[in-house]
């Protein structure tokens, strides 16, 4: 039987790799995107060509009304069993001294508020006391939460620190509801997020200095997410799993 999984920010990068792996393992996948409809549609077509099931769902996770609409659209897929809270942004490297209020607002709106709203709606769907069937939630944090990301983006690092705390707290709130909550904390992964922050070569350049000597691939993060979603991780909740090449 297919189980339903919603992935925010699935049109590219880590979200996209997770959607492909999940579909290959039998999940029905909700592919949330923000602006790149063509990429989301192409991913859905690729999943369908593999014999899987997927639907593209537009929503800006920073807007509560859009998050509510996203989950309502997902309800048509049947009971939700999995959620990957993945949508996230970076910004150009700056010390805090030079960050504008508008930048900080946007960073926390998408990465913190968006993640909290998404996690809340997922919890409302999966909690057994509310009629859900239980499930698993994976938040995509970052090792930046431990490193602090000085002179680059302490705002982003702080936002991801909030996700680590949410993971710990929500795991405790939902343990009795049949819902596991975990986080992956990727390091330098080769995706387009670095170009969006004005540093297209960042993962390759800095990846060389990690213990494993290279940047990671989105598929390597997806493997850990899929394990956490799966019943094989049945005794794992509240965990922060670093996928960072030892960084
Ligand atoms: P990416 O390639 O830039 O993809 C970001 C995805 O998020 C896109 O699908 C984008 O959709 C979506 N998105 C952006 N803003 C959104 C919003 N307001 N509402 C809904 N969707 C939104 O990023 P990535 O590297 O795969 O990163 C995925 C997650 O991993 C992020 O949370 C990031 O912080 C985290 N992470 C990444 C790295 C890394 O090195 N790559 C390391 C640590 C943590 P559209 O394209 O449609 O706009």
> In tens digits, what is the pLDDT along the chain, a chain of 247 residues?
689 999 999 999 999 999 999 999 999 999 999 999 999 999 999 999 999 999 999 999 999 999 999 999 999 999 999 999 999 999 999 999 999 999 999 999 999 999 999 999 999 999 999 999 999 999 999 999 999 999 999 999 999 999 999 999 999 999 999 999 999 999 999 999 999 999 999 999 999 999 999 999 999 999 999 999 999 999 999 999 999 999 9
CATH number, position 108: 3.40.50.720
**Of the candidates 33, 134, 18, the residue with the CA atom closest to the CA atom of residue 79:** 134
- The total of structural domains in the chain comes to 1
Question: How many angstroms separate the CA atoms of 18 and 25, rounded?
Answer: 10
Q: Are 177 and 127 in contact (CB under 8 A)?
A: yes
Q: Are 142 and 157 in contact (CB under 8 A)?
A: yes
Question: How many angstroms separate the CA atoms of 186 and 113, rounded?
Answer: 20
Q: Is 34 in the pocket of ligand 1 (CB under 6 A)?
A: yes
**Residue of 33, 153, 156, 235 marked catalytic:** 156
Angle at which helix 13-24 crosses helix 218-229, to 10 degrees, equals 50
Q: Is 9 in the pocket of ligand 1 (CB under 6 A)?
A: yes
For the chain, where are the E strands, in sequence order? 3-7, 27-33, 54-58, 80-85, 135-140, 179-186, 240-243
Domain range for residue 45?
4-243
Question: How many angstroms separate the CA atoms of 53 and 23, rounded?
Answer: 7
Residue closest via CA to ligand 1's atom 2 equals 13
Q: Which pLDDT value is given to residue 2? A: 81
Residue closest via CA to ligand 1's atom 26 equals 13
Query: How much distance in Å is there from the Cα of 83 to the middle of ligand 1?
Result: 15
Q: Which pLDDT value is given to residue 1? A: 64
Angle at which helix 154-174 crosses helix 101-108, to 10 degrees, equals 30
Q: Is 188 in the pocket of ligand 1 (CB under 6 A)?
A: yes
Q: Are 180 and 136 in contact (CB under 8 A)?
A: yes
**Is 156 among the residues known to form the active site?**
yes
Query: How much distance in Å is there from the Cα of 129 to the middle of ligand 1?
Result: 32
The model's pTM: 0.98
Query: How much distance in Å is there from the Cα of 90 to the middle of ligand 1?
Result: 8
């Amino acid at each position: 039987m297919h189980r339903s999984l919603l992935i925010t920010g699935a049109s590219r990068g880590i979200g996209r790799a997770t959607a492909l792996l999940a579909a290959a393992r039998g999940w029905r996948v909700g592919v949330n995107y923000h602006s790149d409809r063509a990429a989301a549609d192409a991913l859905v077509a690729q999943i369908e060509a593999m014999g899987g099931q997927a639907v593209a769902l537009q929503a800006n996770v920073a807007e509560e009304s859009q998050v509510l609409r996203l989950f309502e659209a997902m309800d048509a897929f049947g009971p939700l069993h999995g959620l990957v809270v993945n949508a996230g942004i970076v910004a150009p490297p700056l010390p805090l001294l030079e960050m504008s209020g508008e930048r900080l607002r946007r960073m926390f709106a998408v990465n913190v508020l968006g993640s909290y709203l998404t996690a809340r709606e997922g919890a409302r769907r999966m909690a057994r006391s509310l009629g859900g069937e239980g499930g698993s939630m994976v938040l995509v944090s970052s090792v930046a939460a431990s490193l602090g990301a000085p002179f680059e983006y302490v705002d982003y690092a702080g936002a991801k620190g909030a996700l680590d705390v949410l993971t710990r707290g929500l795991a405790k709130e939902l343990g009795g509801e049949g819902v596991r909550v975990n986080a992956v904390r990727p390091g330098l992964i080769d995706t387009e997020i670095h170009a969006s922050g004005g540093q297209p070569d960042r993962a390759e350049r800095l990846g060389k200095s990690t213990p494993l000597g290279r940047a990671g691939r989105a598929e390597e993060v997806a493997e850990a997410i899929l394990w956490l979603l799966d019943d094989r991780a049945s005794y794992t909740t509240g965990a922060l799993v670093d996928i960072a090449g030892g960084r």
